[in-house]
């Protein structure tokens, strides 16, 4: 089963890498509430096993994951035809929206917001601030330069990004895209998160990380070292 970002983590995102803005109580408010009755008539998603506290529901292409946790209620909303996902955190006490964030594959993006029990904005986290080359620019680059459609969830294995602080000191994107001829073969790229330059590309196969080949970043760092030693 996929990893779950539980509500307690969503509601304490001040420990993360995004830029955080603590705001005074202001005019940005929300009146949104969680109501389980909204999903009456939805079917159980057969791809997952639901329980009383952890439900997976679907209606046509729409999918909902509802997780009742001691810290609150997490609701993840997505559509099976695209890689976007909205993560909401609601109060156990009032059912009011307390937090909202956005995900594209493995990428947290945009402005994540937190609210108090009165619905007033108290915190913002900017997940894009370290990346001059935007997520939208990445999607356009992969389409234009490599004819890869990152909205195609059947061919895109994953898109991720992070700031590499030990060796390169750069923000990076990683893209794994399935090849046409072999479903276990992937074209993999490391993209500079500032300039959009392709720093490294290689063909990999499903599961080869466990065969001693290591991470994509590790292979890139190894290639830089070998080039330097020539």
pLDDT tens digits for 207-216?
776 555 789 9
Helix (H, G, I), strand (E, B) or coil at 12: coil
Give the span between the Cα atoms of 143 and 61, in whole angstroms: 24
**Quick one: 99 and 54 in the same domain?**
yes
Tens of pLDDT, residue by residue over 129-183, are 999 999 999 999 999 999 999 999 999 999 999 999 999 999 999 999 998 766 8
Structural domain contains residue 112: yes
Look up the pTM and report it: 0.84
Domain that holds residue 98: 7-126
Torsion of CA 161, 122, 67, 159, to 10 degrees: -10
Residue 45, domain member (yes or no): yes
Q: Which residues of the chain have pLDDT under 70?
A: 1-30, 181-182, 209-212
Q: Where is the domain boundary, 79, 102, 126?
A: 126
- Whether 149 and 114 map to the same domain: the answer is no
Domain presence at residue 62: yes
User: What gap in Å lies between CA 37 and CA 65, rounded to an integer?
Assistant: 14
């Amino acid at each position: 089963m996929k990893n779950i970002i539980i509500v307690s983590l969503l509601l304490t995102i001040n420990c993360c890498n995004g830029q955080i803005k603590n705001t005074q109580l202001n005019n940005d408010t929300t009146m949104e509430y969680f109501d389980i009755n909204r999903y009456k008539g939805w079917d159980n998603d057969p791809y997952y096993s639901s329980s009383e506290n952890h439900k997976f529901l679907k209606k046509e292409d729409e999918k909902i994951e509802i997780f009742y946790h001691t810290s609150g209620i997490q609701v993840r909303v997505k559509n099976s035809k695209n890689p976007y996902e909205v993560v909401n955190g609601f109060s156990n006490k009032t059912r009011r929206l307390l937090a909202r964030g956005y995900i594209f594959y493995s990428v947290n993006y945009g402005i994540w917001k937190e609210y108090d029990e009165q619905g007033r904005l108290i915190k913002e986290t900017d997940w894009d601030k370290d990346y001059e080359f935007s997520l939208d620019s990445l999607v356009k680059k992969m389409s234009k330069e490599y004819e890869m459609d990152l909205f195609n969830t059947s061919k895109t294995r994953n898109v991720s990004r992070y700031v590499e602080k030990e060796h390169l000191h750069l923000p990076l994107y990683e893209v794994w895209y399935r090849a046409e001829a072999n479903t276990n073969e992937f074209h993999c790229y490391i993209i500079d998160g500032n300039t959009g330059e392709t720093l490294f590309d290689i063909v990999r196969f499903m599961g080869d990380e466990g065969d001693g080949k290591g991470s994509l970043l590790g292979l890139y760092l190894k290639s830089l070292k070998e080039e330097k030693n020539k």
